[in-house]
Amino acid sequence: MDGERSARQLRLIGETAEIAKTLGVEVWLRGGWAADFFIGEVTRDHVDIDWFAWAGDAGALTDALLRSCYDQRPGPPPDQQLDFCKQGIESSFALLGRDRLGHVVVAGGPWAGKLWPEGMLDAPPGRIGVVQCRIISPLAQIEIKQMMPVWVPGRPRRRKDAEDVTRLRAALGERGQSSG
């Protein structure tokens, strides 16, 4: 594993969580880092840092990240996801909204209004060392990693996702929780 890159990413996760806390906005780790924060240790190299944030907070979050020397990058539709880079590390914020019934949905882009897994935002914070951060629930992580190739036709199943699912299920089993 690339220890230096992981350490930089951990510092940026802590920094981003602190920026969000200062703003009074919520962000949640998703993807491989969310799995690692649930497990409590770095289990593999990560290419980037994936987050969820409320669409209504996107402007304030963008302004704060830009003030903290993040560069905004082009990417998916800006009402769907915001992409940034700092110190060569990419951070992507998938934006969330709520439907008329209060369910968490994709905020914009071609999948606007599509439901995210129930209870996705209900997990307690995760931790690696001294860095603590909100994460999506491990059951939602598993569902997203398993369903992404179905939800996004043409996206192949990735080995790292299967390995993350295996690690998450093992950690859930150790904690006496059901993994579906």
- Please tell me the distance from the alpha carbon of residue 13 to that of residue 5, in angstroms, as a whole number: 12
Q: For the domain bounded by 3-137, which CATH number is listed?
A: 3.30.460.40
- Please tell me the distance from the alpha carbon of residue 16 to that of residue 65, in angstroms, as a whole number: 8
**pLDDT for 177:** 57
Q: Which pTM does this prediction carry?
A: 0.91
Q: Note the pLDDT tens digit of each residue in 131-178.
A: 999 999 999 999 988 887 777 777 788 888 889 989 999 999 887 755
pLDDT band at 1; cut points 50, 70, 90: low
Strand partners, 28: 52
- Residue 152 CB-half CA count within 13 A: 12
Whether 179 shows a pLDDT value over 50: the answer reads: no
**pLDDT for 180:** 47
Question: What residue ranges do the domains of the chain occupy?
Answer: 3-137
Q: Note the pLDDT tens digit of each residue in 71-120.
A: 999 988 999 999 999 999 999 999 999 999 999 999 999 889 999 999 99
**pLDDT for 161:** 85
Q: Note the pLDDT tens digit of each residue in 18-40.
A: 999 999 999 999 999 999 999 99
